[in-house]
């Protein structure tokens, strides 16, 4: 059992940046799947596209609007997230992760959220729920809120892994790498999809940047000690927690739970922790 747990830990990004919901619910299931599929020539990108395929099916079930379909859609959303966990774990197991793979993984997350939210808007319209505004307006606002929460969490998670753990590039370093890669790709004919994906990623990353373009560095130990609790608290508005709340709301056929969490609780929590995080990092930054 201890050996299995050590294998499980190795396949995580790092326990300190994983959402607790992932550690205790979704990633254990993903680990079991990875143990099986790792024997086959399945790539992380293939898993990302499989997750997108099931994302469309999940959206279709949500669009039906009845309680049974909502339960099935909620279960599918959980399964999709487990598959999404698998792609990163396979990449770490086989040491085959790439920068392009990270972009495709991120794109897949937003694609799935889009098709599922569109399906949910159709379903809410059919179900006859009484809301003060149109279900379509509710889902547009929900999409904006969840994107905002995810961008803040993703940015500071990556910064923590870069500055505290030294396990990946900072967001600014990734931007520089992709700008250079795009510059080289411009000299090559074709590869329109790769060029498009990189451009989208650069726009996304630049929006995430909350500080000036001035480069800073941090003492790793100081950064770790000052930010480990904040990262854990930010996990309460991470993408996985949003998925879990939507799943529970779907099982109970009470979507108001999801909307209260998304519109009120998650946004207040994000803004409070975000402000603390910015002030905290300014105090410990070493300007270059």
From residue 67, alpha-carbon distances to 63, 124, 195, 253 in Å are: 11, 11, 42, 6
The highest-confidence range among 67-76, 107-116, 163-172, 277-286, by mean pLDDT, is 67-76
Per-residue DSSP letter, 237: G
Mean pLDDT of 65-70: 97
Phi, psi of 217 (to 5 degrees): -135, 165
User: How high is the mean pLDDT of the chain?
Assistant: 87
pLDDT of residue 75: 98
Does the pLDDT at position 150 exceed 80?
Answer: yes
What is this structure's pTM? Answer: 0.85
Name the H helices within the chain: 2-10, 20-21, 27-37, 44-64, 67-94, 99-127, 135-163, 171-185, 192-208, 220-234, 239-252, 256-260, 266-284
pLDDT of residue 193: 62
Extents of the domains making up the chain: 2-287
pLDDT of residue 247: 98
| Res. 2 pLDDT band, cuts 50 70 90 | confident
pLDDT of residue 27: 94
pLDDT of residue 212: 45
Mean pLDDT of 32-44: 91
3-state secondary structure of 217: strand
How is domain 2-287 classified at the architecture level of CATH? Up-down Bundle (1.20)
| Res. 114 pLDDT band, cuts 50 70 90 | very high
From residue 208, alpha-carbon distances to 57, 151, 251 in Å are: 30, 6, 33
Does the pLDDT at position 3 exceed 50?
Answer: yes
Does the pLDDT at position 256 exceed 90?
Answer: yes
Residues 6+ apart with CB under 8 A from 212: none
């Amino acid at each position: 059992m201890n050996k299995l747990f050590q294998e499980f830990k190795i396949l995580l990004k790092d326990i300190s940046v994983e959402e607790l919901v992932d550690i205790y619910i979704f990633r254990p299931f993903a680990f079991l799947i990875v143990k099986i599929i790792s024997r086959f020539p399945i790539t992380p990108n293939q898993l990302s596209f499989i997750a997108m395929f099931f994302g469309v099916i999940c959206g279709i079930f949500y669009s039906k609007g009845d309680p049974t379909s909502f339960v099935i859609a909620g279960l599918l959303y959980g399964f999709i997230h487990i598959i999404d966990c698998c792609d990163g774990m396979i990449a770490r197991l086989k040491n085959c992760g790439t920068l392009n793979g990270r972009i495709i993984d991120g794109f897949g997350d937003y694609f799935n959220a889009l098709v599922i939210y569109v399906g949910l808007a159709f379903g809410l319209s059919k179900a006859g729920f009484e809301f003060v505004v149109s279900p379509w307006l509710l889902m547009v606002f929900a999409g904006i809120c969840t994107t905002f929460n995810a961008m803040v969490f993703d940015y500071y998670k990556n910064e923590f892994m870069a500055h505290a753990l030294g396990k990946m590039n900072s967001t600014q370093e990734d931007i520089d790498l992709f700008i250079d890669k795009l510059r080289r790709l411009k000299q090559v004919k074709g590869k329109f999809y790769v060029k498009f994906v990189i451009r989208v990623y650069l726009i996304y990353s630049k929006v995430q940047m909350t500080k000036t373009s001035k480069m800073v560095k941090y003492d790793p130990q100081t950064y770790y000690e000052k930010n480990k609790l904040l990262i854990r608290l930010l996990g309460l508005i991470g993408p996985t927690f949003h998925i879990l709340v939507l799943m529970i709301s779907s099982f109970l056929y009470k979507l108001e739970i999801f909307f209260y969490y998304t519109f009120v609780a998650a946004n207040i929590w994000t803004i409070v922790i975000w402000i603390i995080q910015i002030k905290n990092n300014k105090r410990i930054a070493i300007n270059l």
